[in-house]
Amino acid sequence: MPTETVYGLGADATNGEAVARIYSAKARPQFNPLIVHVADVATAKHYVEWPEVAEKLAAKFWPGPLTLVLKRRADCLISELVSAGGETLAIRIPSHPVALQLLKAFGGGVAAPSANRSGRVSPTTAQHVRDEFGDDLPLIIDGGPCVVGLESTVLDLSGAVPTILRPGAVTLEEVTLAIEGGLAPHAMLPPAASGSLTLRTPTTTTAPQLRSPGMLESHYAPSIPVRLNADGVEADEALLAFGPTPIAGAAACLNLSATSDLIEAASNLFAYLRALDKAAHRAIAVMPIPNAGVGIAINDRLARASAPR
């Protein structure tokens, strides 16, 4: 199914067997929980506990690319497999009109990880999904290219302090602003200036208990190596450029944004990584991307794409 972020591989989230088929289709490690997609806040409230901070964030960012991790309600009907056995559930309302129509018609929660095989580049067109799975899927709904192009921001509201588990199109600054607009003091984020609100990017080496187990170091990986912060390029390398002056001399070149627009760059990222992922190239060299706003999410994905496999 299309969403505004990336294409998702959807299944009835209350049906354990359907959810198990997602894990098997993706060859996904069983410990990595899934995001549930719903049409409206009323449906979300059937599944998770709903603190005031969730109400506030949902009002501001839903439908849209923000996923909230909340405690499962005691009477939650969503398969335990979706939470990978944990006590929390990740949930969001996507803004893609076709996704919304589908979810409204279905009425319940749809578990949908990105529609790629585990560890590979996320799909931003229906054709990418077909390339990835061939005839293994019963149906691919073509909703056109994804406008955001990067997965949702994952924000954990289940602990004492809201924590971003995965950076995305909704930035840390936007979340901080929205939360500081008048919350109960105990739920208040520490001021960003104090530096105590960290963008958590757990790694396999430093975080034995991953809060967002999907954030493994190697992910989004093309089949050829990815080389970051390139200031030069070899003749047998492909170049993923950024900005008005791409480095000359690459075997192939795609520019994420000639005008240095990070939103445009995010929407092109996965499609361009796929397009440059040709056996004829030794590697994909990537020009530096500013590490601010959506650039943080772009650099997060690129770091994982280039991590040791």
In sequence order, which residues have a C-beta less than 8 Å from that of residue 4 and are 6 or more positions away? Answer: 64, 65, 94, 95, 96, 99, 146, 147, 148
8 touches ligand TXA by CB under 6 A: yes
297 touches ligand TXA by CB under 6 A: no
**Span from 10-18, 45-53, 112-120, 172-180 in contact with Mg ion (CB under 5 A):** 112-120
CB of 112 to ligand TXA, least distance (A): 5
Among 66, 69, 129, 297, binds ligand TXA (CB under 6 A): 69
Give the one entry of Mg ion, ligand TXA, none that residue 8 binds, where binding means its C-beta sits below a cut-off of 5 to 8 angstroms depending on kind.
ligand TXA
Among 41, 45, 71, 86, binds ligand TXA (CB under 6 A): 86
165 touches ligand TXA by CB under 6 A: yes
Tell me the C-alpha distance between 177 and 152, whole Å.
18
Residue in this structure with the two tokens 């506030």, named with its chain if needed: 56
In sequence order, which residues have a C-beta less than 8 Å from that of residue 288 and are 6 or more positions away? Answer: 228, 229, 230, 231, 242
CB of 246 to ligand TXA, least distance (A): 29
Tell me the C-alpha distance between 181 and 56, whole Å.
9
Among 15, 18, 20, 32, binds ligand TXA (CB under 6 A): 32
Instruction: Tell the burial category of 6 from Cβ atoms under 10 Å away from its Cβ (0-12, 13-18, 19+).
Output: buried
212 touches Mg ion by CB under 5 A: no
CB of 14 to ligand TXA, least distance (A): 16
CA-nearest of 253, 236, 261, 263 to 287 is: 253
Size of the site for ligand TXA (CB under 6 A): 30
Residue 119, token pair as written in the block: 């560890």
In sequence order, which residues have a C-beta less than 8 Å from that of residue 204 and are 6 or more positions away? Answer: 210, 216, 217
Rg of the Cα trace of the chain? 19
Among 43, 79, 88, 114, binds Mg ion (CB under 5 A): 114
In sequence order, which residues have a C-beta less than 8 Å from that of residue 230 and are 6 or more positions away? Answer: 239, 247, 285, 286, 287, 288
Size of the site for Mg ion (CB under 5 A): 1
Give the one entry of Mg ion, ligand TXA, none that residue 301 binds, where binding means its C-beta sits below a cut-off of 5 to 8 angstroms depending on kind.
none
For 46-57, b/e burial (b = at least 16 CB within 10 A) is ebbbbbebbebb
At 32, the amino acid letter reads N
Residue 292, token pair as written in the block: 């601010």
Alpha-carbon distance values, 221 to 164, 227, 268, 279 (Å): 22, 12, 16, 14
Residue (121 or 175) nearer to Mg ion, CB: 121
Give the one entry of Mg ion, ligand TXA, none that residue 293 binds, where binding means its C-beta sits below a cut-off of 5 to 8 angstroms depending on kind.
none
66 touches ligand TXA by CB under 6 A: no
Among 114, 257, 267, 306, binds ligand TXA (CB under 6 A): 114
Residue (32 or 260) nearer to ligand TXA, CB: 32
Q: Is the dihedral of CA 22, 25, 26, 27 positive or negative?
A: positive
CB of 143 to ligand TXA, least distance (A): 12
6 touches ligand TXA by CB under 6 A: yes
Give the one entry of Mg ion, ligand TXA, none that residue 145 binds, where binding means its C-beta sits below a cut-off of 5 to 8 angstroms depending on kind.
none
The contact set with ligand TXA (CB under 6 A) reads 3, 5-6, 8, 32-35, 65, 67, 69, 83, 86, 88-90, 94, 112-114, 151-152, 154, 165-166, 211-215
The contact set with Mg ion (CB under 5 A) reads 114
